[in-house]
Structure 1
Amino acid sequence: MRIRSYHIKKPVRLFGLMIVGAIVLFLLLNVVFPLPDNVEYSTIVTDDRDAVINAYLTRDEKWRMKTELEEISPLLRKTIVAKEDRYFYYHPGVNVLAIGRAMVKNLVRIKRTSGASTITMQVARMLEPRKRTLPAKFLEMFRALQLEWKYSKNEILQLYLNLVPYGGNIEGVKAASLLYFKKNPDHLSLSEITALSIIPNRPSSLVMGQNNEVIVQERNRWLHQFAKEKVFTPKEIEDALAEPLSANRGMVPHYVPHLSYKLKKEANRYLIKTNIHLNTQLKVEKLVEDYVRSLRLNNIRNAAVVIIDNKTHKVITYVGSGSFADTIDGGQVNGAAAIRQPGSTLKPLLYGVCIDEGLLTPKTIINDVPINYSGYAPENYDQKFNGYVSVAYALEHSLNIPSVKCLQLLGKEQLVNQLAALDFKQVKKDRNKLGLSMILGGCGTTLEELTGLFSAFANEGVYERPEYVRGNTGANLDRGRKRVEVLSKAASYMISDILSQVNRPDFPLNWQATERMPKIAWKTGTSYGRRDAWSIGYNKHFTVGIWVGNFSAQGVPELSGANTATPLLFKIFNTIDYDSDAGWFAPPEDCALRQVCSVSGLPPSPYCTNLILDYFIPLVSSTATCQHMQEVKVSVDSSISFCNDCAPASGYIKKLYPLIAPEMQDFYEANSIAYQKIPPHNPECEKIFRGDAPVITSPLNGNEYFISKQDPEPLQLSATAGNDVTKLYWYINDRFYKATGVHEKQFFIPTEGAVKISCTDDKGRNRNVRISVRYVNM
């Protein structure tokens, strides 16, 4: 018995060792010869409803679109398994019984009549194509075992459906479904699935659209086979047999080309799910193309549009040019992502930040007169000056000088930091180079960035990063959620209230179709040299950004934000939000009303007579009272004024005089505008006054001046002084030079080297500047 037991155990041990050895060998070979399963798929771009709106060929020029597991419907799975490998879910990748049956049939008939390739083996062959030889078959079996080791059955079926050839350069059921039937694979009928399933057997002779009759015959043969094997019900087979086949190879959709291409370059995935609303996209594309065509007579050849849904913060429309197919005027250039000069479009943000800092309110008065900041002398768009203007007027009329003054008051760094926090890339990059001119367009921005900024005004001052894509695509435009409080609710409401007024100069000429247009707030901008025209508008529903111009940066005299970009803005709002019943923004709790003096926009003093209402932010807005009038002691004939130290005991009267800034006095003098002056101070008074000294406007402090040796030109001396000053005294290098009236300009020829220039008014207040002078041969 012991001898018999020993003889039984020995073969069992040997068999066990063989199994273990085979497993070890397989694992070793699996490491040495890894599975070549790194499949490249076509990049697919979908809209907000997951419909394919664009796709791109793989590097080997194939339409190979990945079919997701959820797109493999039960009908598709059942049909493919029944036709290709009915025991797919039961074998380990190699069907030994089928191989044995095939060998017997082939030996009996002395030719190859039956194969035994499982779905897994077919996947192995498609991953590693080679001639069909016996060694190749054994390699297929090994690869099939590797596939079964690494993937689940459903994942192997997914690989099969992604790799199976359908003629030409079409691979995979998704590409075939879209190109032949214009639908996703989970929407295919039994008839369509069966018709597709027979093409891989003869992809060169069964061409959809050319051999449809033959395909129908083969389809019906397989449907009868399914009926015989009771795979489907008689009713399902009957309906499938009756379904006609009229499919032809179509084209892959190429909608939203600029955004699709941008995302394809930035993404590292084959599937990019955008938030594009295709119906709105196509309407806006048609509007833009027609509008640009009408501008070509004026040599204006392109436009770009970005639309954000303010409720969801999703980008629903993205148009990069007038026509992507336009090869003459650079239609494939993406104008929405191009870095351009923003013109005046940053002014609403500046004024809003100043309101939040307590520096301004809508009715605050600013002097719109010539200024000079270390050589930078901005001018208004129309090269005119308006004197006293309110903040609201300055923003409505897009005045340049008040905005530069406000930026100087706020500080450039604060605005730069705000824009950097809102992902303005070029501003971030150039932050150390930017100056006061940035508020007039002296910086680089994109339409994407500006539209995102304005959507914050529609969101109570809170910036939500615009969502171009859904899910993690690895694209630069998909950087996760970002929320930044740009402005307070109150400041945002004040800016929206100002920008929604229609009685403004940037309302487009001859625009009639506004009866049913929703109420919007909008801001225009025109860059230096008339190269870029902007108009960005918003309401509760949408923010729409418009850029119009030439990609060549050619300036056009007729180009302006008001008359070139805004008509397109209105057309788009009329289309996407026509006759909207959406209400307007309501004043928030932190936005209150108060009475202010109409002359200064500040809370009134006893001398203020004309009062108006103005919005303000309690505990934030300045409470300094109006000082536009002052009481002055003057002689009975009003010829001289007295200070408290030199006023006589009697023989004087008190009169009110306006306090006029020196720059406004210069403006009045230059434009021959009469204004009330404080009489000269008592010449017998010996008191030296403290207060604002004269401001030397020429020459500029710290500048270096080059003067020709052959023909030296004199430098101008000019300064501004208070309303109570009548005389200025000039000193060059601490030596008296000349006495002048306040508004008189004098000239002098300086010596070479460092020069100190001093100006003292008749109250004893002094200001110095220092310059350097070099004489050169010119």
Structure 2
Amino acid sequence: MRFVKRRYNKVLLNAFYAVAGSFLLFLLLNWILPLPDRIEYSTIITDDKGEVIHAFLTHDQQWRMKTELGEISPLLRKTIVEKEDKYFYYHLGINPFAVCRAFGRNILLHRRTSGASTITMQVARALEPKQRTYWSKIREMFRALQLEWKYSKTEILQIYLNVVPYGGNIQGVKSASILYFKKNPDHLSLAEITALSIIPNRPSSLVIGRNNDLIVQQRNKWLQRWAREKVFTEKEIADALAEPLTATRGTVPSLVPQLAQKLKKRGGPIVHSTVQLNTQLKLEKLIKDYSRTLALKNIRNAAVIVLDNQTHRVVSYVGSADFHDSADGGQVNGAAAIRQPGSTLKPLLYGLCIDEGLLTPKRMITDVPINYDGYAPENYDRRFNGYVTMEYALGHSLNIPAVKSLKALGKDRLIRKLTECDFRQVDRDRKKLGLSMILGGCGATLEELTGLYSIFANEGKYIRPRYAQDDSSGKEVKVLSPAATFMINETLSKVNRPDFPLNWESTVHLPKIAWKTGTSYGRRDAWSIGYNKRYTVGIWVGNFSGLGIPELSGANVATPLLFTVFNTIDYDDDASWFSKPRDCDVRMVCSETGLPPADFCTHLVTDYFIPLVSTAKKCDNREEVFVSADEKMAYCRICLPPAGYKKKWYTVIPPEMKEYYDANHITYQSIPPHNPMCERVFREGAPVVTSPANGSEYLINRKDPEPLLLRCRVSNDVSKVFWYINDKFYKSGEAGSREFFVPDEGPVKISCTDDKGRNRNVWIRVRYVNL
């Protein structure tokens, strides 16, 4: 008995050592020979509902689309397991009974009559293809053990469904499902799954679309076998047997091509975009048709982005009018191209000025010629309007008030806000940008501008647009206050503007929107960006070649398309408009200045303002002046005579407005000349020299020198000015008159003194050249 017991214990111990040794050997080999399980999948792009809308070949030119776990339906799982390996969930990658059976049959019949490959072993073979030998089979078994050690059964089944061959360059059930049946794997029927399951055994002879009758014959054999084994119900089998097979190999969807290229750079086998396919297809057709009408004017392309303001998802992305139009650069992504933004940055500028207390909608700005160190902007129509309100300047997209507002705000503040809103080119060029950036002298994309305008629908907060459903940057930046945002919304939603489309049909059933247009220098780019509570829509129209077209403008070309897009995506929507926020209030202001009224103000209007932020300075456009009885002479308190004078109110006219009135022959009441006998020295209100520009260098033709213009702006109380060149008296003239002189070469000092002794100096440099 003891002998038997000792022998039994020894056998157990040897068995334990054998198992332990085998396990340690497996771990060693697993470390030495790692599993080659890195699989390159085709990048696929889906819409917001998970349907494939674009896919890319792998580097080895295979369609190998990854099937996600959620796409492996219970029916697909059950059918594949029953067909390929019914004991899949009960073995460790190798089915020993199947191995013994196959080995015995092969020995007895001297040929291979049946295989013993499990699903796991088939995965191993697909990951590391080898010639079918006994040594390859042993290696395959080892790899199967590695797979079982590393992955769960569900994951192994998923890998199998991703690498199983279906003939040609099609691998994986998802690729086959989309190419043959135009649907995702979780939508396949029992008949379709069974048909696909038999192809990997004979992928070269069972080709869907070429051998459908043979495939149906083999499919039905398996269905009848499962009927006998009661794997599926009688009704399921009957429906599958009756289902015809009419499938042929189709093409992989190639929709939203520019966005697909953009999302592919994110990496990963599957990118779930935020695109709403129905909306996308409607807009693609609309834009293609619209571009055809513009082709007669030699305007050949357009790009559109639609952003959902609640979810911040991009629901439509059209990069060009026709991606397949190679003649006009259809494959260029116009939505991501860096271009001049024209006047589209003005709403942000005025919003920032409101938050700084510099402006309110009714605040007056002078729209007259200006010159900042040689930079002299002009309006779109090359005209000047004198006094204009901020809302008029924005609604009519006047350039000069915008440049003056940027000068007052400071360009660095605008650049900082644009950088916070992901304007990459602005950030790169921040040191080179000047005042011209507000008129389009910088680089921006349609993506950036559409994201920027969404702040007006989100109480001044910038939330980075989402192009993929898993975007989780979460970037949120407060750009403007809700009050400033509301004031801009009220201004941009007015329809009595020059950029309102003349085609009334485009406004039928149009939801209420706010919008802003822009046209770049040289008429190369036309912009129109609009928004309401639901959507922000960005439009670019032009030529990818950069060709300027005289008829190209945001108002005439881009805005009609904007209105049509809104009619398509938000037809006849009567949703509520933006309401006045708590930090915004209403007050009465002087209609002539937009400032809180003084005692002398008689014409008042209502205006929005931000309490404790907007200026509380009262209107100061009237000045009480002591004048002689005949109103031909003015006195100050120093030279005021004991009698023979009276008080009179005069409108304060800045020098730039006085020059504008004189140039346009607009009458105004001037303050009489000051008492010439007065010895008071005036310090404020010195002349402003507008020509020549301070700090500039002038090149003059040595053979035919042209004189330089001397010109200045003076206050309303000045009637005469005196010019000095290099501290030597040159000439005197009436206020507003033009004088000319030929300077010497080198540095030149120019001085202008008015009849009250106030002086202004400028310096220029002159070089004579042979032209």
Regarding TM over 0.5, the answer is yes
1:2, distance to aligned residue in structure 2 (A): 6.3
CA contact (8 A) 1:706 1:773 kept: yes
- Is 1:565 aligned to residue 564 of structure 2? no
SS at the partner of 1:568?
A: helix
Sequence identity percentage? 66
Task: In structure 2, give the amino acid aligned to 1:144.
Answer: A
SS at match of 2:289: helix
Distance (whole Å) between structure 2 residues aligned to residue 74 and residue 64 of structure 1: 22
> Partner of 1:403 in structure 2?
402
Correspondence list, 1:50-65, <5 A: 50-65=50-65
CA distance, structure 2, for counterparts of residue 3 and residue 639 of structure 1: 143
The one-character-per-residue Cα deviations of 1:593-612 (angstroms, maximum 9, x if unpaired) are 11111111111112211111
| Correspondence for 1:474 | none
Cα offset, 1:6, TM superposition: 5.2
Q: In the alignment, is residue 453 of structure 1 matched against residue 446 of structure 2?
A: no
Deviations 1:221-255 (A, max 9, x none): 11111122222222322222222222222221111
User: Does the aligned pair in 2 maintain the 1:48–1:276 contact within 8 Å?
Assistant: yes
Distance 1:41 1:157 in 2: 16
Task: Say if 2:721 is the partner of 1:728.
Answer: yes
CA distance in 1, matches of 2:554, 2:506: 18
Inter-partner Cα distance in structure 2 for 1:693 and 1:173: 83
Query: Do the aligned residues in 2 keep the contact of 1:662 with 1:720 (CA within 8 Å)?
Result: yes
Q: Distance in 1 between matches of 2:353 and 2:214?
A: 76
**1:267 corresponds to which residue?**
266
* Equivalent position amino acid for 1:207 in 2: V
Kindly provide the CA deviation profile for residues 67-112 of structure 1, in whole angstroms up to 9, marking residues without a partner as x.
1112111211111111111111111111111111111222222321
Question: 2:189: which partner in 1?
Answer: 189
Is 2:423 the partner of 1:414?
A: no
Matches within 5 A, 1:556-635: 556-635=549-628
Taking the TM superposition and a 5 Å limit, the aligned residue runs for 1:74-153 are 74-153=74-153
Deviations 1:151-188 (A, max 9, x none): 11111111111111112211111111112222211122
User: Where do 1:442-481 residues align within 5 Å?
Assistant: 442-471=441-470, 478=471, 480-481=473-474
Instruction: Tell me if the contact between 2:512 and 2:574 (Cα under 8 Å) persists in the aligned partners.
Output: no
State whether residues 54 and 252 of structure 2, in contact with CA within 8 Å, keep that contact through their aligned partners in structure 1. Answer: yes
Q: Distance in 1 between matches of 2:22 and 2:604?
A: 98
What pairs with 1:424-435 in structure 2 (closer than 5 Å)? 424-435=423-434
Report what 1:655 is aligned to: 648
Secondary structure of the structure 2 residue equivalent to 1:352: helix
Give the partner amino acid of 1:305: V
How many corresponding residue pairs?
771
State how far apart, in whole Å, the 2-side matches of 1:230 and 1:660 are: 99
Residue in structure 2 matching 1:640, options 609, 633, 636:
633
Find the counterpart in structure 2 of residue 766 from structure 1: 759
- Among candidates 702, 723, 730, match of residue 709 of structure 1: 702
CA distance in 2, matches of 1:317, 1:160: 35
Between 63-72 and 20-29, the greater mean CA deviation after superposition: 20-29
Structure-to-structure mapping, 1:318-357, within 5 angstroms? 318-357=317-356
Shift of residue 510, structure 1, vs aligned partner = 2.8
Which one-letter code corresponds to 1:19 in the other structure?
V
Provide Cα deviations, 1:182-212, integer angstroms capped at 9, x if missing partner.
2211122222111110111111111112211
Would the aligned equivalents of 2:525 and 2:552 in 1 still touch at CA under 8 Å? yes
Q: Which residue of 1 aligns with 2:177?
A: 177
Question: Which shifted more, 231-240 or 488-497?
Answer: 231-240
Partner Cα distance (2:768, 2:173) in 1: 81
1:511/1:567 contact within 8 Å kept: no
Pairwise CA RMSD: 1.4
Q: Post-superposition shift, 1:10?
A: 4.4
- Contact 1:646/1:682, CA 8 A, preserved across alignment: yes
- Which shows bigger deviation, 168-177 or 556-565? 168-177
Opposite residue 483 of structure 1, the aligned amino acid is E
**Aligned residue for 1:292?**
291
* Residues 118-138 of structure 1: CA deviation (Å, up to 9, x unaligned): 111111111111211111111
2:67 is aligned with 1:67: yes
Structure 2 distance, partners of 1:655, 1:333, is 67
2:484 is equivalent to residue 485 of structure 1: no
Amino acid at match of 1:284: L
Distance across 1 between alignment mates of 2:161 and 2:768:
83
Letter in structure 2 aligned against 1:53 = I
Deviations 1:517-539 (A, max 9, x none): 11111101100000000011111
Q: Distance in 1 between matches of 2:760 and 2:240?
A: 97
Quick check: 1:221 aligned with 2:214? no
Aligned to 1:362: 361
Q: Pick one of 684, 690, 696 that aligns with 1:691.
A: 684
Cα distance change of structure 1 residues 479 and 417 upon mapping to structure 2, 3 Å threshold: farther
- 1:475 aligns to what? none
Following TM superposition, by how much is the alpha carbon of 1:9 offset from its aligned partner in structure 2, in angstroms? Answer: 4.5
How far, CA to CA, are the matches of 1:66 and 1:302 in structure 2? 35
What SS does the corresponding residue of 2:302 show, helix, strand or coil? strand
Alpha-carbon distance between aligned partners in 1 of 2:22 and 2:280, rounded to the nearest angstrom:
60
Superposed displacement of residue 456, structure 1 = 0.8
**Residue-by-residue CA offset, 1:618-651 (whole Å, 9 max, x unaligned):** 1111111111111111111111111111111111
The range that moved more, 622-631 or 412-421, is 622-631
Deviations 1:322-376 (A, max 9, x none): 0111111111110000001001111111111101111001111111111100000
Q: Contact (CA 8 Å) 1:462, 1:485: kept in 2 or not?
A: yes
**Correspondences of 1:663-674 after superposition (within 5 Å):** 663-674=656-667
Pick aligned residue for 2:737 from 733, 744, 754: 744
Deviations 1:735-755 (A, max 9, x none): 322222221222223333332
Q: Tell me, yes or no, if the aligned pair for 1:412 and 1:436 is still in contact at 8 Å.
A: yes
Conserved? CA contact 1:535–1:569, under 8 Å: yes
Q: Could you tell me how far 1:8 is from its partner in structure 2?
A: 4.6
Q: Secondary structure at the match of 2:49?
A: coil
Offset, 1:549: 0.2
- Look up the equivalent residue of 2:434 and give its one-letter code: G
Partner of 1:283: 282
Asked if structure 1 preserves the Cα contact closer than 8 Å seen for 2:517 and 2:555, the reply is yes
Question: Within the alignment, does 1:45 sit opposite 2:52 as a pair?
Answer: no
Q: Could you tell me the TM-score, scaled by structure 1's length?
A: 0.97
Aligned equivalents of 1:479 and 1:239: distance in 2?
45
Task: Supply the distance in 2 between the matched residues of 1:491 and 1:242 (Cα, whole angstroms).
Answer: 67
- Please give the secondary structure, in 2, of the residue aligned with 1:512: helix
Q: Residue 698 of structure 1 contacts residue 717 of structure 1 at CA under 8 Å; is this kept in 2? A: yes
Mean CA deviation greater in 61-70 or 341-350: 61-70
CA contact (8 A) 2:42 2:64 kept: yes
In the alignment, residue 626 of structure 2 is paired with which amino acid? K
CA contact (8 A) 2:506 2:560 kept: no
Query: Which residue of 2 is the match for residue 257 of structure 1?
Result: 257
Alignment partner of 2:515 out of 517, 522, 528: 522
Partners of 1:515 and 1:226 lie apart in 2 by 61
Query: How far apart are the structure 2 equivalents of 1:223 and 1:639?
Result: 113
Where does the alignment leave 5 or more consecutive residues of structure 2 unmatched? none
Q: Which runs of 5+ in 1 are unaligned?
A: 472-477
2:112 match: secondary structure = coil
Q: Name the SS for the 1:28 alignment partner.
A: helix
Distance in 1 of aligned mates of 2:129 and 2:399: 69
Q: Distance in 1 between matches of 2:524 and 2:429?
A: 21
Secondary structure of the 1:79 match is helix
Aligned 8 A contact 2:306 2:316 in 1 = yes
- Residue type at the aligned position of 2:296: L
Query: Relative to structure 2, which stretch is displaced further, 255-264 or 704-713?
Result: 704-713
Amino acid at match of 2:185: P
Structure 2 counterpart of 1:230, one-letter code: K
